[in-house]
Structure 1
Amino acid sequence: MIAKLKGLVDAVGDDWAIIDVGGVGYLVHASSRTLGGLPSVGQAIGLHIETVVREDAITLYGFGDVAERNMFRLLTSVQGVGAKVALAILSVLNPNDLQNAIAAQDKTAVARANGVGPKLATRIVTELKDKVTGLVFQPKGVAGAAVAGGQTVAAATADETVVADAVSALVNLGYRPADAHGAVARAYQELGEGATVATLVPAALRELSSV
């Protein structure tokens, strides 16, 4: 199985790229997010690869980071979600935003992807809810935030701590981690950056009571 490719960008299409590794061109399918991050033709690149083997084909799917590859694996574990649909979803939602959408049960965000209707979006957020709970919740805008004199990182860390504390508080009240995670995610989306534990917990409890 091919797990990673390092080579030169040979060509790029709408949903694929050819990576030249020692004179051998590998056709790799990828999300528009990954393709948009590729360097110019002739430049060096490294991609994480998911190899899918079927009776009639061996297909390579490329990802710029492990988080996107892991989300691809989660998505394709859902019935009705093939590789093409998974890449479409990852083209409109980066791994962080997708994780948050699943935690918040935001089927509308997932349904923005081509080929994803309301029923499939509902199935995705429902089936993957418990599976993303173990991942670290990232307040929107935290992942990949630029450093500006250390202030951006400090603010991001503070928001992560607030979210983690709010989830912990709900779990201590007897709620399931998956439910607590989702309620806090929805509450955070509503309150926005700067939310405190004191405001998040009551808002999350209201979310839980409305389910």
Structure 2
Amino acid sequence: MIAHLKGRLDSTGVDHAVIDVGGIGYLVGASSRTLAALGAVGESAMLHTEMLVAEDSIRLVGFAHAAERDWFRLLTGVQGVGARVALAILSTLEPADLSRAVASGDKAMVTRANGVGPKLAARIVLELKDRVGGIALPAAAGGLPAPSGAGSDAVSALLNLGFRPAEASAAVASAEEELGAAATLDALVRLALRKAAK
């Protein structure tokens, strides 16, 4: 599993970028929001990634922020939402806007994305309402600052282990506060797991 790519931006297209990592060019699908955040060709770039494996292909999808990747995973878990539709939604709505739309049941906001009709928007809002907890919210539970950088990767790791978003965000924020800003991803995940298990 490729979790992120760090290298030089080689080129961009309408829906993808090529990141040169040590002389190997990785073609990465991306939302227009992520492509806009990458910067100029030739500059250094870092993308969080999701690997999509099908019978006849292996593709990488890249995200400027871990929260966007987490939303991609949630969206593609909804029946009828493939990678292309999920990227269209993420091109139209920031993670915080998407979180608010799902939490408030605002189907109209979700239908602003290309390829999302009223029925699909209703299904997305209904299926994700109980699952979005603390993803992409400006603050975690207890008033602690929202995790960022290694913290957002740690939240993603806990989500992959089956923790609810609010639990994962709160545990990682608490671990970040205890360990400090220079904490490694490994240390954050270990402490967050201990805190979440209490």
- Distance in 2 between the 1:49 and 1:56 partners? 20
**3-state secondary structure, aligned to 1:6:** strand
- Distance in 1 between the 2:135 and 2:61 partners? 23
Aligned to 2:28: 28
Root-mean-square deviation over aligned CA pairs:
1.7
Instruction: String of CA shifts for 1:116-160, please: whole Å, max 9, x gaps.
Output: 00000000000000001344744xxx9xxxxxxxxxxxxxx8xxx
**3-state secondary structure, aligned to 1:52:** strand
**Is the 2:67–2:135 Cα contact (8 Å) retained in structure 1?**
no
Unaligned runs of 5+ in 2: 144-198
Aligned to 2:193: none
Aligned to 1:14: 14
Aligned to 2:80: 80
AA aligned to 1:39 is G
- After TM superposition, the runs of 4+ consecutive aligned structure 1 residues lying more than 4 A away are none
Please tell me whether residue 91 in structure 1 is matched to residue 88 in structure 2: no
Please tell me whether residue 60 in structure 1 is matched to residue 60 in structure 2: yes
- Distance in 1 between the 2:12 and 2:135 partners? 32
Instruction: String of CA shifts for 1:69-94, please: whole Å, max 9, x gaps.
Output: 00000000000000000000000101
Aligned to 2:107: 107
Aligned to 1:49: 49
Instruction: String of CA shifts for 1:176-206, please: whole Å, max 9, x gaps.
Output: xxxxxxxxxxxxxxxxxxxxxxxxxxxxxxx
AA aligned to 1:108 is A
Question: Alignment identity in percent?
Answer: 62
Aligned to 1:40: 40
AA aligned to 1:33 is R
- Distance in 2 between the 1:109 and 1:23 partners? 41
AA aligned to 1:41 is V
- Distance in 2 between the 1:135 and 1:32 partners? 21
Aligned to 1:209: none
Aligned to 2:131: 131
**3-state secondary structure, aligned to 2:79:** coil
**3-state secondary structure, aligned to 2:28:** strand
Instruction: String of CA shifts for 1:93-119, please: whole Å, max 9, x gaps.
Output: 010100000001000000000000000
- Distance in 1 between the 2:119 and 2:89 partners? 15
Q: Quote how far apart the aligned CAs of 1:39 are.
A: 1.4
Aligned to 1:185: none
Change (3 A) 1:91 1:84: same
Unaligned runs of 5+ in 1: 143-156, 158-211
- Distance in 2 between the 1:135 and 1:26 partners? 28
**TM-score relative to the length of structure 2:** 0.68
Q: Quote how far apart the aligned CAs of 1:55 are.
A: 1.3
